[in-house]
Amino acid sequence: MKVLIINGSPHKEGTTYTALSEAMRTLEAEGIETELIQVGSEAVRGCTGCLACTKLGRCVMDDCVNIAAEKFKEADGIIVGSPVYYASPNGSVISFLDRLFYSSRFDKTMKVGAAVACARRGGTTATFDVLNKYFTISGMPIAPSTYWNQVHGANGEDAKMDLEGMACMRNLAKNMAFMIKAIALAKEKYGLPKKEPAVRTNFIKR
């Protein structure tokens, strides 16, 4: 069992990395393999709506998005961590997730998702809400914790002093590990839920 970890910060060992590392250590202690991908330092272009992915099965822009998509396909869960700059995920994270979730055509149903927002002070809950929408539109249950998944600090050393935030990361990882294991057992016994055929409805009538 494996969880893919996305570090959306340009700082490889900053606040976001420190928060994610706490979750990674706990997941591994629970018997879940982890792999971290550094996205925030990449020049990730946003989706252009070209729709080439509908034929290719991957994004036409061949960069870290396609690399992550292959790993995501095999993973049982994903944690996306983002720094907060203006009360939302940073630009690299949004561009990355838009293309990752739109261009990857595999079924994400029951892969467990979690979002982690890191800030010096404010904007974390707005960021948390944006990130979680990628999971809920994809049939992915969201792993909870004992508080919203946020860690505060201007740098990695500050983050370590956010004791409540660090505990939140550990509890998130424990809950995620439990959900992944429970879903694996349920899939074996019951299979995945049957979906109704998709019906695309436009609200502008001509």
Element (H, E) at 150: strand 150-152
The length of the chain in residues reads 206
Residue spans of alpha helices (H) in 124-162:
124-136, 156-161
Q: CA 144 to CA 168: how far, in whole Å? A: 9
Q: CA 10 to CA 129: how far, in whole Å? A: 21
How many C-beta atoms surround the C-beta of residue 195 within 10 A?
A: 9
Q: What is the pLDDT of residues 104-150, one digit of tens each?
A: 999 999 999 999 999 999 999 999 999 999 999 999 999 999 999 99
Checking if the pLDDT of 204 tops 90, the result is no
**Residue-by-residue DSSP string for 61-93:** S-SHHHHHHHHHHH-SEEEEEEEBSSSSB-HHH
User: Mean pLDDT across the chain, nearest whole number?
Assistant: 95
Checking if the pLDDT of 15 tops 90, the result is yes
Beta strands in 8-129 (DSSP E): 33-38, 77-83, 112-119
Q: What is the pTM of this model?
A: 0.94
Q: Which two tokens stand for residue 110?
A: 């029951």
Q: What is the pLDDT of residues 141-175, one digit of tens each?
A: 999 999 999 999 999 999 999 999 999 999 999 99
For position 130, what pLDDT does the model report? 97
Q: What is the pLDDT of residues 36-67, one digit of tens each?
A: 999 998 999 999 999 999 999 999 999 999 99
Q: CA 59 to CA 41: how far, in whole Å? A: 19
Nearest-Å Rg of the Cα atoms of the chain is: 17
Checking if the pLDDT of 206 tops 80, the result is no
Domains and CATH numbers, the chain: 2-190 (3.40.50.360)
Task: Please state the φ and ψ torsions of residue 15, each to the nearest 5 degrees.
Answer: -60, -45
* Closest among 23, 146, 30 to 78, alpha carbons compared: 23
Give the 3-state secondary structure of residue 168: helix
Q: CA 27 to CA 40: how far, in whole Å? A: 22
Q: How many CA atoms lie within 13 A of 118 on its CB side?
A: 32
Task: Please state the φ and ψ torsions of residue 82, each to the nearest 5 degrees.
Answer: -135, 140
For position 201, what pLDDT does the model report? 84
Terminal Cα-to-Cα distance of the chain (whole angstroms): 49
